[in-house]
Structure 1
């Protein structure tokens, strides 16, 4: 299956509310994860090679974003019946193994992914403190099977700008990844 690329940032699009179970046993809504200077909602999954190629960087950048007042959550919306690696049990295992510094949420009925018009994994939605979209770009220039560690941290730099100014960069490079695995 070819890689998908999400659309360019639709500036000021308002974040959609949700209530989802987390792998830590708690339930989270948008307000629970919102940070004082912004919020990052990312759609990831357990099996996608694009996600796996950057997972350590996602964990690193999420930790760094907290220092800038950015709240972070990850959502898995894949059809876990067709893709058992993405079931809730395996999500919890991945979150624990990688010490996720953010809630990992299960969108079993895929309503949140549809509300956000999420396209692929990973798909990053960076909002300002007013929950207006300011970044929908890539983490960095990493591609599958590429181990470079000295790449510009596009997501981190964009969200630092959002935290400081309330606005994201006008020039953004789209993320790339596997399609969300929709239920029939």
Structure 2
């Protein structure tokens, strides 16, 4: 089912999380928080919307990390019902697409629920004090040819890094619904 994310609730505080990568490395929100902010991306392996943007997202993540933004990718889907999203498949998906951010398993789906994640991909961009500044899409290309894309997520987070504020106008992300138990 195709869903759009809600509008940005500016200043909403990032809930804490304590999650592991498929190989057992633990990460918390505070560990990942960068000097200039935090991006939390809810993604999965099987969603056609994520598959269409993952290489762009991986490239944008590298740029944001170099700019002082911490990044976490979180998989909240029920992987028992969607085996393509299993932890083993998460590891190979991350490796295949060159993800440099930790790709974390939300085993009990509590983090996805705490954030109010609704779809994959779903992006939450926070300032250095953990206040929400971006809840939009990755770019204007979506599932189309990204040759002349406007990298809205990258631009927004670079604005947050520079000024502490996200853009007033944001276009919601769209994707497949989170697969809740």
- With the shorter chain as reference, the TM-score category is over 0.9
Partner of 2:68: 69
What's 2:147 paired with?
149
Residue number in structure 2 paired with 1:57 = 56
- Mapped pair 1:108 → 2:107: yes
Equivalent in the alignment of 1:165: 163
Structure 2 gap segments, 5+ residues each: none
**Number of equivalenced pairs:** 181
8 Å CA contact retained: 1:18, 1:30: yes
Structure 1's unaligned 5+ residue stretches are none
TM-score, length basis structure 2: 0.97
Q: Distance in 1 between matches of 2:147 and 2:30?
A: 33
Alpha-carbon distance, 1:143 to partner: 2.9
**1:59-91 CA distances to partner (integer Å, 9 max, x unpaired)?**
000001012110001000000011000011110
**Cα-to-partner distance string for 1:24-68 (whole Å, 9 max, x where unaligned):** 531000011100000000100000000000000000000010121
Q: Determine the structure 2 residue equivalent to 1:175.
A: 173
Q: How far apart, CA to CA, are the structure 2 residues paired with 1:25 and 1:31?
A: 18
Paired position in structure 1 for 2:139 = 140
Whether the 8 Å CA contact 2:76–2:109 is kept in 1: the answer is yes
Residue 95 of structure 1: how far off its partner (Å): 1.0
Counterpart CA distance in 2 for 1:170 and 1:147 is: 26
State the TM-score, normalizing by the size of structure 1. Answer: 0.96
Give the secondary-structure state (helix, strand or coil) at the position aligned to 1:20.
Answer: strand
Task: Calculate the aligned-residue CA RMSD, in Å.
Answer: 0.9
Report the Cα distance in structure 1 between the residues aligned to 2:37 and 2:27, rounded to whole angstroms: 16
The alignment partner of 1:60 has SS state of helix
